[in-house]
Amino acid sequence: MYPVYYGAAILLSIAALIGTIVIAKNMNKEENQQSPKDDAEKLKGEKSNINSIPLLSTIYAVTFGVTIVLVWVFIF
């Protein structure tokens, strides 16, 4: 039964890593497509609706939750 838990932890960790990399690449694409002047205007006038922090927080919260469950299973 332990290999199943280890497999689940490994898969979730890999999913979190891949999600983080995809989000980072998308952010870099958006930053590279704008000119410096457009970027400055955007920062001055607009509150960004495209925010990856909630998505990253969700990914890490799920990973943390699974880690806590696995620690609880193995220790208690």
Mean pLDDT value across residues 41-70: 75
Position with higher pLDDT, 33 vs 17: 17
Taking the C-alpha atoms of residue 32 and residue 39, their distance in angstroms, rounded to an integer, is 10
N residues, the chain: 76
pLDDT in tens, 21-54: 888 787 766 666 667 777 677 767 666 555 667 7
Q: Are 20 and 59 in contact (CB under 8 A)?
A: yes
Give the closest residue to 20 by CA, choosing from 31, 8, 9, 28. Answer: 28
Taking the C-alpha atoms of residue 16 and residue 60, their distance in angstroms, rounded to an integer, is 7
- Chain-wide mean pLDDT for the chain? 76
- Torsion-angle region of 58 (φ positive above 0: left; ψ -120 to 50: alpha; else: beta): alpha
> Domain count of the chain?
1
By residue range, what is the domain housing residue 10?
2-75
Structure pTM? 0.45
